């Protein structure tokens, strides 16, 4: 049973560039979550999927952020026209159904120059 896998582990980019992150959940998990975390804060919910359906997207999330889970397996998170404030750790988690614990990947650390 492999865990949640995220790629890349680190991303450094210039302001204004687009970036895309990938998450591969635990294979039997139908729910997939994206979070953002900055130093000293708890995970901030961004969006989540049940199978291929995106069920909720944070109102705090600007239109520059988009996520997909096309076949109900892996997911991608894209940030367009990156800004300094986007620098954070982006975490992906998966679970088997609601009310079940979420298991996290190692995260992607994004740094905006």
Q: How many other C-beta atoms lie within 10 A of the C-beta of residue 34?
A: 26
Draw the binding track, 73-112, toward another protein (x: CB under 8 A; -: no contact): ----------------x-x------xxxxxxxxxx-----
Q: Report in angstroms how near the CB of residue 11 gets to another protein at its nearest.
A: 15
Residues 13-42 binding another protein (CB under 8 A) are: 33, 40-42
Q: From the list 34, 48, 49, 65, which residue makes contact with another protein (rule: CB under 8 A)? A: 48
Q: How far is CA 52 from CA 8, 14, 89, in A?
A: 22, 31, 24
Burial class (CB in 10 A: 0-12, 13-18, 19+), 5: middle
Measured CA to CA in angstroms, residue 46 lies from 11, 49, 90 at distances of 19, 11, 9
Choice between 14 and 39, CB closer to another protein: 39
Which stretches of the chain bind another protein, using CB under 8 A? 33, 40-45, 48, 55-56, 89, 91, 98-107
């Amino acid at each position: 049973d492999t865990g949640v896998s995220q790629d890349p582990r680190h991303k450094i980019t210039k302001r204004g560039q687009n970036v895309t992150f990938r998450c591969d959940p635990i294979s039997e998990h139908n729910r997939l979550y994206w979070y953002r975390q900055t130093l000293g804060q708890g995970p901030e919910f961004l969006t989540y999927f049940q199978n291929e359906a995106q069920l909720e997207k944070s109102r705090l999330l600007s239109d520059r952020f988009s996520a997909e889970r096309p076949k109900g397996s892996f997911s991608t998170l894209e940030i367009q026209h990156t800004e300094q404030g986007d620098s954070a750790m982006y975490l992906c988690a998966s679970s088997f159904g609601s009310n079940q614990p979420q298991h996290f990947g190692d995260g992607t650390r994004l740094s905006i120059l």
